[in-house]
A = this chain, B = another copy of it.
């Protein structure tokens, strides 16, 4: 006999991208930053004494929240620190959605969203993107008509890398009746020439929650540190009620704070990645592979029926290069490639060349 509740027994869990333990693999499958975190993070790590780990950490990651608030030009009470961005999503569903409510997402997007809705035991409404993976014209109206308690959009979009105009978020937040979550896990890679900053919108909208993470931009996926940004009344119940009492640990708080203090260093890695993004997109086009203009640290590429995307994924893997292939209808003919170091990208292109046009 199983002790699981009926809804848990029915569902499947999230399947994360492969994490090979060997070091010989070129890992372009889970959108990690190819460059390590800043020297200040390294120094901070080197200085931590185990004596400091004897005690419980700050329950609310006080120092980190003050630093992050300063960077975003908001107040510390507009922030909730989380054990990776994923925890923020779970907290939001725990806090704002009941079992008889609906969560709205667009499809495809981050494959964790449907899993979390299933775990919460609520309804999920998926609004399909258009065939070319752009948003439908009437997206705002469609989303607003669903009477969903939460809508989650990823921005820049995964897996296309497309950026939502700030005016779109503004307009949707105004019209949508529930909590609008904008998952900005990849926001650090947006071209600074665009002067893009959606965060000030939290002053206008009490229902707007942004997700940020140090996993990608700050090269700290191993650390599990993310945060939510929103109006204080949206943040407070997650911060003081639904969050596990000590959800972020001492080391991660220290290193995350050091990472923010040395943001300028992280920005040099973002610049390199944006440079590589242009080169990689061009190389893919030269190979005849349609790809989507990306404001993120990955590129979605379409693979012709011959040799086929799944096949290419396997052949790259045989060459010790991991990319991501999603076995869902709208993505089955595509692969998502994380932008690696210049050397890694070159090896990918040379391997792809052999596979695509042998």
Q: Report how far A98 CA is from B119 CA in the complex, Å.
A: 11
Chain B residues, CB < 8 A from A247: 83, 224
Which of A71-79, A89-97, A157-165, A304-312 forms part of the interface with chain B? Answer: A89-97
Main SS at interface, chain A: loop
Q: How many residues of A contact B (CB 8 A)?
A: 84
Q: Report how far A46 CA is from B46 CA in the complex, Å.
A: 6
Chain B residues, CB < 8 A from A46: 46
Using A56-B30, A90-B244 as known contacts, say yes or no to A50 and B112 having CB atoms under 8 A apart: no
Closest CB in chain B relative to A266 CB, distance in Å: 12
Q: Report how far A98 CA is from B9 CA in the complex, Å.
A: 12
Q: Are A54 and B41 in contact (CB under 8 A)?
A: no
Q: Are A96 and B4 in contact (CB under 8 A)?
A: yes
Q: Are A50 and B42 in contact (CB under 8 A)?
A: yes
Interface residues of A in 1-33 (CB under 8 A from B): 1-9, 11-14, 16-17, 19, 21, 27, 30, 32-33
Closest CB in chain B relative to A2 CB, distance in Å: 7
Mask for A194-225, Cβ within 8 A of B = 1, else 0? 00000000000011000000010001111110
Top 5 A-B pairs, shortest CB-CB distance: A222-B250, A53-B222, A13-B241, A224-B249, A36-B51
